[in-house]
């Protein structure tokens, strides 16, 4: 399954889990973000980051240089508190 197909599957599944009134609010705020021009300044595929260190789930610093020695690096950002 391609990434596009997987994302579409997730999108379709959210229609069953998220009430319509909340999906309308989420879509409105997504549109607001797009219209703000913020997408002009976000990282694009192929952009390079400078080396960095961030704490992991245990509070230990993890170096991007060390991780990259093992292979490609994918970063995921979560908004809010889970």
pTM of the model: 0.49
Q: Which two tokens stand for residue 11?
A: 């999108």
Give the span between the Cα atoms of 42 and 44, in whole angstroms.
6
CA dihedral 79, 38, 29, 80 (to 10 degrees): 10
pLDDT in tens, the chain (82 residues): 888 999 999 989 988 899 999 999 999 999 999 999 998 988 888 888 899 999 988 999 999 999 999 999 887 777 665 5
Give the span between the Cα atoms of 45 and 7, in whole angstroms.
17
CB distance 14 to 20 below 8 Å: no
């Amino acid at each position: 399954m391609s990434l596009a197909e997987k994302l579409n599957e997730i999108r379709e599944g959210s229609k069953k889990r998220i009430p319509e009134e909340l999906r309308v609010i989420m879509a409105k705020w997504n549109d607001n973000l797009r219209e703000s021009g913020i997408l002009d300044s976000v990282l694009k595929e192929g952009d390079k980051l400078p080396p960095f260190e961030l704490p992991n789930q245990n509070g230990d610093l993890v170096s991007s240089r060390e991780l990259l020695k093992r292979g490609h690096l994918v970063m995921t950002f979560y908004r809010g508190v889970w």
